[in-house]
Amino acid sequence: MNKKTLYHGHLATLLAGSLFPLGFSPFNIWPALIVATAAGFALTRCETVKTATVRGLLFGFGLFGTGTSWVYVSIHNFGAASVPLAGLLTALFVMLLASLLVMPLFYLYAKLKNRFSIQTPWQQALLFAGLWTLFEWVRSWLLTGFPWLLQGYSLLDTPIQSWAPVVGVFGLSLLMATTAALMTAAIVTERAKRNPPLIALSITLLFWIASVPLGKIQWTQPTGEISFSAVQGNIPQLLKWDPDYVQETLNTYYTLSEKEWSQELIIWPENAIPLFYSQARSVLNRLDRKAAENNSALILGLPIDERSKSTHSLVDEKYYNGIVAKGLGEGRYYKQKLVPFGEYVPLESTLRGLISFFNLPMSAFSAGNSSQEKLRIPNAVITTYICYEVVYPDFAARQAKDSGLLITISNDTWFGKSIGPEQHFQMARMRSLETGRYMIRATNDGISALIDDKGQVIESIERFKPGVLRGTAEVMKGNTPFMLLGSWPVIFLSLLMIVVAGFSARRSASRRLTENSVRA
C-alpha cells in the first residue's frame, strides 16, 4: 500500500468516526451508525496491527470529538478557561477517550485476527462485532465508567427497541455492530464463497424481525398511579452558588410550587437548594410542614454535609450530592456515581487550583454506598438517580428492583444549548424501557419530562424557562429479563462470537493443510 492510499484510509476512518454521533439525539439518524461502523470495520479489516491501531485512534477521535463536543461549553463558559485553553483541554479529553476506549478495540481486533489466522470476511465480522460490544461494556466501568454514545441508544423509537427489556442497550449495540460487520462481509466476499456471511446475516436479521412480536409483551404491570409536579427553576448556573442569590433561588421554587401542594408528589431538581443540609434546616423544616399539611410528599436535591469522629477523635467531614424526602415522603439518597472534575477531582493534590475548571463549586463530593434504602411515599417505593447515574445500564437496573417508580433529578445547565443534554435525556429514556417503569425527570432548565414504561415521552415542558411539569405516573411491579440477568447474556454471546471466529478459522486452516498434504 502506498502512502497516499494509506493516508486516504486514515482520513476516511476519521470521517467515519465523526459521522457516528448522527445516530443519537438530537439527530436520530440511526442508519448513520450502521454506515459508520461498517466503514470502520472495512477500513481496518485486513490491515496490519500498526495501521489498525492508528485508525482506531482516529475513529475514536472523530467519534468523541463530535459526540462529546459539549465538554467545551462547561470548560469555557463555567470553568473560566480561555477559548484556546478550553479547546486544548477538550482535545486532550477527546484524545484520552479515544486512546483508552476505542484504539485498544482496533488493536486487539488486528492482533487476534493475525494470531488465529482469521482470514474470511464473515469470521472477521464476528470477531469485530463481538469485540465492539465488549468494549462498549468495558466503557461502563473502566476508570469509573463513561458509557456514552453506545450504539443501542440509536434504536429508541424504532420497533427494534423491544429487545431492550430483554438484553439492554448492550444487546442492541451487539445487534447493530453485527449487522454492520456482516453486511460489509457479504459485500466484500467473492460470489462463490458468499454463503457463510449471508447465512450469518440472515440469522442476525431474524432478531430484527422478532422485535415486532416481542414488542407486544408487557413485562411489568401497573399497580396504581400518583399525581406529581416536577418544578423546573431555570436558575442561571453562574448565579446558582452565589451566596447573594440564594434567597432569589428559594423564592423561585416557592413561587413555582405554591399551586402544586395538592399533588401527591412534588419534585425539585438536583441541588435545587444551594445550601448544605446543615445550613438549610429551617428551609427544610418549612417545606416539611407545608407538604405534610397538604398530604403531599416533596423530593428535592441539595448537598448534604456529614460530620463524624475518626479513630483519633478528629472530626471527619464528608459531602454528598443528595436527595431528601419531606412531608409524607421518607428517606434520603446519596449519589453513588460521581462525575470526574464536576463532583470530584482525580489527582486532586496536583490539579486542584491549577485553573478555575479544577476548582468548580461542589467538586469535592464523596460517593454514597450501594446499600442505601429507597425513598418511600404513601403509594410507591421510588428509585432515584442523580444526573449522571442514569447513564449506567446495569447499575440503573439493579437499583430499580423492588421499586415501582423511577425519578431522576439533574442539572444539565453546565452544557448550555449543546447536544449533551439531548443525549443525556435519550439515555434516561432507555432506562425506563429496560426496566419497564415510568420515570419522572426533573431538571433545572430541561429536559423535564414524564417517560412511560416503553421509553416514550408522555409530557415535557419547554427548556430554558421556569415552569412546572404536571402529570400522572403509573406505579409498576415486576421485573424485566434485563433487570434479572443484566448484561451478562450479551457479554457471553459476544465472547462466544469471538471464540467461534477463532475456532472456525483454525478449522479452516487445518482443512487447507490436509488438502495440501493430499495434493502433495
Which positions are annotated as active-site residues?
A: 270, 335, 387
List phi, psi (to 5°) of 25: -60, 145
CA neighbor of 292 nearest in space, from 332, 261, 269, 258: 261
Q: For the chain, give the number of residues.
A: 520
3-state SS, residue 225: strand
d(CA 151, CA 430) in angstroms, rounded, equals 12
Reported as type and span, the H/E element at residue 424 is: helix 420-435
Most distant CA pair in the chain, distance: 94
Residues 481/485/489/492 CA torsion (nearest 10 deg): 180
d(CA 494, CA 469) in angstroms, rounded, equals 41
41 in Cβ contact with 92 (< 8 Å) = no
400 in Cβ contact with 165 (< 8 Å) = no
- How far, CA to CA in Å, does 231 sit from each of 228, 253, 339, 450, 475? 10, 7, 24, 12, 20
CA neighbor of 370 nearest in space, from 357, 383, 354, 358: 383
d(CA 395, CA 256) in angstroms, rounded, equals 33
Look at the alpha carbons of 301, 303, 309, 312 in this order and tell me if their dihedral is positive or negative. Answer: positive
Alpha helix positions (H), 261-400:
281-293, 348-351, 393-400
d(CA 423, CA 371) in angstroms, rounded, equals 29
